[in-house]
Amino acid sequence: MPNEAAVGVSFVDAARKAGVRRFVFSSVIDPILSALENHAAKAPVEEALLASDMEYTFLHPTLFFQNIASAWPSVLKTSVYGEPWAIESRFTRVDYRDVAEVAAIALTEDRLMYGTFELCAEGNLNRTELAVVMSKAAGKKVEAVRITPPPLPENPAGSRQRKRQVKAVLTT
């Protein structure tokens, strides 16, 4: 959403005004990556929570395994799996059900209060290694490719410079 940061900050403010005591924010892994707009949009929300006087927990999940699951029918049809970053880039992944379980704990128990938690499963595969695993599961060779990311939505508060930075990050 083009105004994600403003919406998130407004949501925190509305929760505080409504008397919400505890807030669990599912952010993104490495929200400090300011060149990635979807990451940078999380930092103002986290800052608003820090200043809110509400109890909070920050969850920083990595890529979801479910992204692979949604692409799986296409992989079976085309024998190709693509993502919009360098094939050699290594990523961890996490099941969103595990993130939901941690969020439930953070909402119902005190042990995660005021904490920040990076959430990922074991493994740190690049896309070529992931394609090998997919090939075994599919019973045929799967090729790892890099796809062109869809264009970013127009953001009146954003700048052309930010878009150039995002492109530079995706190419490295």
Which residue segments constitute the domains of the chain, with CATH numbers given?
4-171 (3.40.50.720)
Q: How confident is the model at residue 151 (pLDDT cuts 50, 70, 90)?
A: confident
Task: Give the model confidence (pLDDT) of 35-56 as tens digits.
Answer: 888 899 999 999 999 999 999 9
Q: What is the pTM of this model?
A: 0.79
In degrees and rounded to multiples of 5, residue 57 shows phi and psi of -140, 135
Helix or strand (DSSP H, E) at 77: helix 65-78
Task: Give the model confidence (pLDDT) of 55-93 as tens digits.
Answer: 999 999 999 999 999 999 999 999 999 998 899 999 999
Strands (E) across 90-153 are located at 93-94, 116-119, 143-146
pLDDT of residue 170: 39
Residue 71 CB coordination number (10 Å): 16
Helices (runs of H) and strands (runs of E) counted in the chain: 7, 7
The answer on pLDDT for 162 being more than 70 is no
Q: Provide the mean pLDDT of the chain.
A: 89
Q: From 44, 52, 46, 47, select the one nearest 19 (Cα to Cα).
A: 52
Q: Are 145 and 80 in contact (CB under 8 A)?
A: yes
**Using alpha carbons only, what angle is made at residue 61 by residues 143 and 100, rounded to the nearest 5 degrees?**
110
Alpha-carbon distance 64 to 82, whole Å? Answer: 15
8-state DSSP, 148: P
Q: Are 102 and 117 in contact (CB under 8 A)?
A: yes
- The CA–CA distances, whole Å, from 79 to 50, 59, 156 equal 46, 34, 39
